[in-house]
């Protein structure tokens, strides 16, 4: 399918006083995204079109009036068809800080959906998005955020929690995040994890959903987006994140985000960063 991304509408707002929580408004997008992952918990209200996600071996179709909830770092494919949605993307550290006391020290809940038809939740997160993008007080914004998250957990409260990652997977994942720009060999990762290369690739891929090299590429692209949003040139972002050259960088950037780096910069030139006075 040939897609003209010139007609896409995207608006990204960052809220530093809420740990860089992201508000993303997307409209008129038709595109297929291959296997990828997000580092944040993503909660989107679908306003128009359809958003299809394939994860855990199943296909899920989100229609207008429904809620889409994506777990942090869960690999998935997605296809947007004439879609408009408004998403709140929450850093897992922020989510842990907002954690209800009765959940104790359990690991993060696992949302088994990811598509939910719940009118009250849809309205709640629509209101939250409006509050977060309006000139509301920081206190009001955080109270609304906490209330919406509490409602989400209560209404989808199957209390199904993510099982702890195998130590080897956690060690390798953390190492790749800390050394994302470096050229890392599989034998080096296997040594760190104290596993054979074959066993490491199998265990990591089964748990994360992508092999180690693809995970590193996804982390690199996430950092490249931040670097470019700070005003750096595309070539600078490519070098700083460890890509061979700008062509190599552009190919992976387009594959993962749906945009060329140049289009991304043009589309995101109006990013709003709300700051406390």
pLDDT tens for each residue of 33-78? 888 888 889 999 999 999 999 988 899 999 999 999 998 888 899 9
- Concatenated DSSP letters for 33-86? EEEE--SSEEEEEEEEEEEEEEETTEEEEE-TT-EEEE-TT--EEEEEEEEEEE
Intervals of the chain under pLDDT 50: 1-4, 159, 161, 270-277
Report how far apart, in Å, the C-alpha atoms of 12 and of each of 19, 63, 138, 238 are: 15, 22, 18, 22
- Concatenated DSSP letters for 143-209? HHHHHHHHHHHHHT----BPPPPPHHHHHHHHHHHHTTTS---HHHHHHHHTS-HHHHHHHHHHHHS
pLDDT of residue 274: 43
- CA 182 to chain CA centroid, Å, is 23
Give the three-state DSSP class for 2: coil
pLDDT tens for each residue of 111-144? 877 899 999 999 999 999 999 988 777 878 888 8
pLDDT of residue 164: 53
pLDDT of residue 74: 87
pLDDT of residue 153: 82
pLDDT of residue 2: 32
pLDDT of residue 182: 92
Q: Which two tokens stand for residue 72?
A: 């942090």
Q: Which two tokens stand for residue 92?
A: 């897992």
pLDDT of residue 6: 57
């Amino acid at each position: 399918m040939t897609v003209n991304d010139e007609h896409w509408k995207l608006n990204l707002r960052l809220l530093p006083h809420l740990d860089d929580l992201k508000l993303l408004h997307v409209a008129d997008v038709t595109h297929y995204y291959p296997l990828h992952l997000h580092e944040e918990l993503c909660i989107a209200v679908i306003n128009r079109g359809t958003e299809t996600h394939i994860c855990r071996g199943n296909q899920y179709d989100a229609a207008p009036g429904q809620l889409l909830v994506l777990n942090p770092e869960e690999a998935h494919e997605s296809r947007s068809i004439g879609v408009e949605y408004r998403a709140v993307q929450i850093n897992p550290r922020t989510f842990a800080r907002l954690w209800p006391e009765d959940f104790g020290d359990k690991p993060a809940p696992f949302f088994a959906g990811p598509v939910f038809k719940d009118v009250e939740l849809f309205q709640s997160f629509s209101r939250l998005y409006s509050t977060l993008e309006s000139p509301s007080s920081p206190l009001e914004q955080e109270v609304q955020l906490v209330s919406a998250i509490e409602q989400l957990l209560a209404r989808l409260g199957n209390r199904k929690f993510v099982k702890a990652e195998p130590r080897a997977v956690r060690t390798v994942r953390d190492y790749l995040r800390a050394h994302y720009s470096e050229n890392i060999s599989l034998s080096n990762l296997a040594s760190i994890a104290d596993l054979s290369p074959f066993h490491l690739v199998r265990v990591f891929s089964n748990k994360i959903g992508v092999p180690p090299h693809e995970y590193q590429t996804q982390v690199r692209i996430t950092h490249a987006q931040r670097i470019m949003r700070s005003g750096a040139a595309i070539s600078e972002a490519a070098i700083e994140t460890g890509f061979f050259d700008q062509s190599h960088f552009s190919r992976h950037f387009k594959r993962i985000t749906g945009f060329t780096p140049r289009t991304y910069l043009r589309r995101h030139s109006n990013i709003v960063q709300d700051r406390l006075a």
